[in-house]
C-alpha cells in the first residue's frame, strides 16, 4: 500500500515516455516515511483467516476409447499471447509493439473527458476512449484501462483534475495538500448517483467489447486507486482527515460495476476495498500495483505474505486475511511491476535480490496473469529469464493428445486433451473451431465447437506457508488435462488428404487484422492461430447427408419403462426417455449401405453424465460415455463405430442394464 515513492513520479513518467525518455522516479518528499499509511494496520493486524487449499476441480470427461490417439509434440508458447504478460503505456501515435513482445496496452482516462457536460451528468462523450481503443486494436492489442478523478500532475495527455464539471455546486470538494489534488466528496449522494449512472452506461456500451481485456474499477481516490493517502481511513497517527468514502458507499460502486459488466473482466485495487465488497463477487479480481517490491528497513515484501517475509500491508497478506487468496480461480489478477524494479525485476529469476522479492513465488502465489511494465521495452527479446516468467503468468495451454479417425467420412468425432502449465485459467469464453486444411495450407472447411477453455485449470498450484501443508515451496496437484470432443460433418468435403486443425479465435480478429492470435504450446502451432492436430484422410462417397433416424419413430421398439416425450430442442420435437435399468430403445430398419463399419452418431440430452451400451443387430454391445448437456432439452452427440450388414435390415439398440441412460433424440449413420 505504501506506493507514494512510485506515485510521485507517475505523472512525470507518462509525459517522459512520450518523449522516449526513461521512466522518472522521484524520491519521497520529506516526512513521507514517517507518514506511513499502514501504521495502524501493523499495530492491529487481524488474525489470519486463510481460505486454505482450494477444492480440486472434478475431472472432465474421459477420452473416447474408440478414437485413435495422436500425441502432439510440445514447444514453448509465444511470449505475446493475448491477454497475458506485460502491458506498456498507451501513447497516442506511438508504436504499440515497440520493446519486449506484448499483447496488452495500459491506458488512463479522466472521468471529466467523458462526462464533459457542465449541465448534464447523464451526457457522455466517449470519443477519447473510442479513439484510444481503436488505435490500440489496430496494433493488435487488447486494452487494460482505468478512469480516475484525481491524478497528481496529470499524465501529460489527461488532466490532473478530472472531476466532472456537472458536479460544480452540487458536490463538495476537499484539498489534498500533500499531493496538490482536489478530492470530491465521495460520500455525496449526488456524486454516487452520477457515478453509478456512468458505470451503467459504460457497461452498456463496452461490456464484451473485444478491444477491452481488463477494466480497473478506478474512479475513487488518487490515480483511481481506491486510496487518498495520507487523507485516508488511518487517522490515528496523523492530523489528516479521511477523504475516502464509507465502506457502504464504496460497495455501491463495486456492485454497480459487477452489475454492468458481465463479460469484460474487472479488477479492484485491494481485497479490503470498501470493506471487502468485491470478495464475494467471483468475477472481480485484484490489481497489485506494487508487484514483488521490497521496501523499508529491514526490507519487507509488499506482495508476498508475512509468512514469506512480506509486510503486514502486503497484497497477499491482505488476501490471506480476507480469505480470498484463491480468488484467481474465477477472476483475473493484474497490476504493475513496481517501477523502481522494472529494469531489473527478472535479472535474478527465478528468485530476486535487493528490492526485488522472490519473483517466481510472487507470480505463483498471486496467480498473476498480467502486469503493467513500462520498462519491459528495455528487455532483450530473447532473454530466457523474462520468457520463463511471462510463460508462467496466466494461462499456458498445450494440446497433449488429439483423438480422431485417421480415415473418416460422413459424421466423425474429433477430440483433444488440453493441459495448462501456467498459474491461472484462461478467463474468456473464446470460440474454438476445428478445421481442415489442404496440401497448400488453405482452410477448406471449419466447424464451431462448444468447447470452453475456461475449464482448463493449472496442473499445479503453489501452497501458501499459511496453509500448513508442507515446507516452501510445496506444489499441489490441481487441474488435469481436460478432454473435449465434437462431431464434425465431412459430407461436403471432397475425398483426399487433409490437415486437421484447431483454433481458439481472438474476437479482436473481427476488428483488427493485426490481432494477436492465441497460440498453443505445441510444435504444430501455426502463425495464423490454427494448430496442426495431424493428418486425416477423408474417404470417398461424400456428397450426401448421413441418414437420420428419429427415436420416437413408430417403427422403433421400446421396452421396459421407456417412453416418448416432448422435447423442444430435439429433432422432430420429441425424444425417448427413461432408458436404462432394463428399459431399451431399438432403432429398426437402419440402412447399412453396402455393409461394413459405419459411424453411428447418437444425438442425446442429459443434465448429468450417463453411459449406455450401443449394439448393432446381435453384435457386441459397446459402452459409450455421454457427457452432461445444459439441460434435458439441449442435445449433444456421441459417436460409435458399428458393423452393419448391407441393406436396410439393421437394428441399433441403446440400453443400460445397471443404471440410467441418457434421453435419445435420434441417431445418424454415415
Question: Is pLDDT above 60 for 32?
Answer: no
Name which residue leads in pLDDT, 646 or 133: 133
Please count the other Cβ atoms lying within 10 Å of the Cβ belonging to residue 172: 13
**In the structure, what pLDDT confidence band is assigned to residue 540 with cuts at 50, 70 and 90?**
low
Mean local confidence (pLDDT), 173-194: 97
Please give the Cα distance from 604 to 588 (Å, whole number): 18
| Per-residue pLDDT at 10 exceeds 80 | no
* Span 503-512, average pLDDT: 97
pLDDT value at 655 more than 50: yes
pLDDT at 50: 92
Please report, for residues 50, 53, 282, 320, 479, the alpha-carbon distance to residue 476 in angstroms, rounded to integers and kept in the order given: 17, 9, 23, 18, 10
Among 206, 210, 204, 208, CA closest to 137? 210
301-318 pLDDT tens trace: 999 999 999 999 999 999
| Domains of the chain, CATH where assigned | 78-288+312-339+368-392 (3.20.20), 397-538 (2.60.40.10), 547-669 (2.60.120.260)
> Cis ω on the peptide bond leading into residue 271 (within 30° of 0)?
no
Share of the chain above pLDDT 90, in %: 84
What pLDDT score does 33 carry?
A: 30
pLDDT at position 312:
95
Average pLDDT over residues 430-446: 96
Cβ neighbours of residue 270 closer than 8 Å, sequence gap 6 or more = 1, 226, 227, 286, 315, 318
Average pLDDT (536-548) is 70
Q: What is the average per-residue pLDDT within 61-81? A: 95
What is the tally of helices (H) and strands (E) in the chain? 9, 34
Q: Count CA within 13 A, CB hemisphere, residue 248.
A: 3
Residue-wise pLDDT tens digits, 236-272:
778 899 999 999 999 999 999 999 999 999 999 999 9
Nearest to 389, CA basis, from 427, 347, 426, 340: 347
- What is the rounded CA–CA span in Å between residue 568 and residue 20? 62
What pLDDT, on the 0 to 100 scale, is given for residue 112? 98
Provide the pLDDT for residue 545.
57
Q: What is the pLDDT of residue 492?
A: 87
pLDDT of residue 108: 95
| The pLDDT of residue 660 is above 70 | yes
Distance separating alpha carbons of residues 231 and 244, to the nearest angstrom:
8
Confidence category of residue 596, pLDDT binned at 50, 70, 90: confident
Query: Are the beta carbons of 342 and 373 closer than 8 angstroms?
Result: yes
pLDDT at 563 over 80: yes
Mean predicted confidence (pLDDT) in 537-556:
78
If you average pLDDT over residues 205-225, what whole number do you get?
98
pLDDT given at position 415: 97
- Return the pLDDT at 42: 36
Task: For residue range 450-491, list pLDDT tens digits in order.
Answer: 999 999 999 999 999 999 999 999 999 999 999 999 999 998
Mean pLDDT of the chain: 91
The mean pLDDT value for 575-598 works out to: 92
Q: Is the pLDDT of residue 372 over 80?
A: yes
Return the C-alpha cell found at 403.
483423438
What is the rounded (10 degree) CA torsion for 226, 231, 232, 233?
-160
Integer Cα distance of 436 and 445 in angstroms: 5
Please state, as a whole number, how many other Cβ atoms lie within 10 Å of the Cβ of residue 298.
6
Sheet strands (E) in 460-572: 460-462, 475-477, 482-489, 496-504, 531-538, 547-550, 557-558, 563-566
Strand 181-184 and strand 173-176: pairing?
Answer: antiparallel
Amino acid at each position: 500500500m505504501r506506493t507514494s515513492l512510485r506515485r510521485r513520479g507517475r505523472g512525470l513518467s507518462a509525459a517522459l515516455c512520450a518523449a522516449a525518455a526513461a521512466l522518472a522516479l522521484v524520491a519521497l518528499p520529506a516526512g513521507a516515511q514517517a507518514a506511513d499509511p499502514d501504521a495502524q494496520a501493523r499495530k492491529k493486524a487481524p488474525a489470519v483467516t486463510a481460505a486454505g487449499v482450494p477444492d480440486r476441480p472434478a475431472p472432465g470427461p474421459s477420452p473416447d476409447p474408440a478414437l485413435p490417439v495422436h500425441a502432439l509434440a510440445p514447444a514453448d508458447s509465444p511470449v505475446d499471447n493475448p491477454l497475458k504478460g506485460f502491458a506498456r503505456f498507451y501513447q497516442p501515435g506511438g508504436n504499440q509493439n515497440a520493446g519486449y513482445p506484448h499483447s496488452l496496452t495500459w491506458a488512463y482516462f479522466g472521468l471529466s473527458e467523458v462526462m464533459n457536460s457542465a449541465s448534464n451528468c447523464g451526457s457522455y462523450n466517449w470519443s477519447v476512449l473510442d479513439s484510444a481503443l481503436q488505435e490500440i486494436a489496430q496494433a493488435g492489442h487488447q486494452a487494460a484501462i482505468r478512469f480516475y478523478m484525481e491524478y497528481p500532475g496529470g499524465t501529460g495527455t489527461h488532466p490532473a483534475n478530472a472531476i466532472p464539471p456537472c458536479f460544480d455546486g452540487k458536490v463538495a470538494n476537499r484539498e489534498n495538500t500533500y499531493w496538490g489534488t482536489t478530492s470530491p466528496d465521495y460520500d455525496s449522494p449526488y456524486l454516487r448517483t452520477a457515478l453509478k449512472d456512468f458505470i451503467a452506461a459504460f457497461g452498456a456500451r463496452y461490456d464484451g467489447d473485444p478491444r477491452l481485456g481488463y477494466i480497473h474499477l478506478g474512479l475513487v481516490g488518487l490515480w483511481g486507486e481506491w486510496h487518498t493517502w495520507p487523507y485516508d481511513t488511518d487517522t490515528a497517527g496523523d492530523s489528516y482527515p479521511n477523504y475516502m468514502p464509507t465502506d457502504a458507499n464504496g460497495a455501491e460502486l463495486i456492485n454497480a460495476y459487477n452489475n454492468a459488466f458481465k463479460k469484460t473482466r474487472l479488477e479492484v485495487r485491494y481485497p479490503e476495498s470498501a470493506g471487502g465488497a468485491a470478495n464475494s463477487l467471483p468475477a472481480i479480481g485484484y490489481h497489485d500495483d506494487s508487484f514483488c517490491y521490497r521496501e523499508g528497513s529491514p526490507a519487507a515484501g509488499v506482495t508476498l505474505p508475512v509468512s514469506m517475509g512480506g509486510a503486514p500491508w502486503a497484497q497477499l497478506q491482505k488476501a490471506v486475511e480476507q480469505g480470498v487468496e484463491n480468488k484467481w480461480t474465477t477472476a483475473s489478477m493484474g497490476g504493475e511491476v513496481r517501477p523502481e524494479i522494472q529494469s531489473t525485476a527478472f535479472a535474478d529469476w527465478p528468485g530476486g535480490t535487493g528490492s526485488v522479492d522472490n519473483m517466481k513465488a510472487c507470480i505463483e502465489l498471486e496467480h498473476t496473469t498480467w502486469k503493467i511494465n513500462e520498462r519491459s521495452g528495455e528487455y532483450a527479446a530473447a532473454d530466457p529469464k523474462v520468457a520463463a516468467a511471462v510463460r508462467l503468468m496466466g494461462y499456458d495451454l498445450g494440446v497433449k493428445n488429439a483423438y480422431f479417425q485417421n480415415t473418416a467420412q460422413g459424421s466423425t468425432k474429433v477430440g483433444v486433451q488440453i493441459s495448462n502449465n501456467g498459474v491461472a485459467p484462461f478467463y474468456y469464453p473464446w470460440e474454438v473451431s476445428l478445421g481442415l486444411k489442404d496440401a497448400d495450407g488453405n482452410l477448406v472447411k471449419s466447424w464451431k465447437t462448444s468447447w470452453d477453455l475456461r475449464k482448463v485449470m493449472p496442473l499445479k498450484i503453489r501452497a501458501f506457508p499459511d496453509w500448513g501443508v508442507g515446507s516452501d515451496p510445496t506444489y499441489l496437484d490441481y487441474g488435469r488435462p481436460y478432454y473435449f470432443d465434437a462431431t464434425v460433418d465431412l459430407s461436403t468435403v471432397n475425398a483426399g488428404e487433409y490437415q486437421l486443425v484447431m483454433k481458439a479465435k481472438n474476437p479482436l480478429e473481427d476488428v483488427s487484422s493485426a490481432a494477436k492470435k492465441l497460440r498453443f504450446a505445441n510444435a504444430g502451432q501455426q502463425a495464423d492461430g490454427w494448430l496442426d492436430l495431424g493428418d486425416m484422410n477423408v474417404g470417398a462417397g461424400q456428397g450426401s447427408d448421413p441418414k437420420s433416424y428419429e427415436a420416437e419413430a413408430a417403427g422403433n421398439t421400446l421396452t421396459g419403462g421407456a417412453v416418448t416425450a416432448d422435447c423442444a430442442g430435439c429433432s422432430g420435437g420429441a425424444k425417448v426417455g427413461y432408458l436404462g435399468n432394463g428399459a431399451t430403445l431399438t432403432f429398426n430398419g437402419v440402412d447399412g449401405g453396402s455393409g461394413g463399419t459405419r459411424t453411428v452418431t447418437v444425438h442425446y440430452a442429459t443434465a448429468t453424465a450417463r453411459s449406455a451400451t450401443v449394439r448393432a443387430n446381435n453384435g457386441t454391445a459397446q459402452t459409450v460415455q455421454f457427457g452432461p448437456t445444459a439441460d434435458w432439452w439441449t442435445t449433444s452427440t456421441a459417436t460409435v463405430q458399428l458393423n452393419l450388414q448391407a441393406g436396410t435390415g439393421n437394428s441399433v439398440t441403446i440400453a443400460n442394464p445397471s443404471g440410467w441412460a441418457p434421453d435419445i433424440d435420434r441417431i445418424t449413420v454415415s
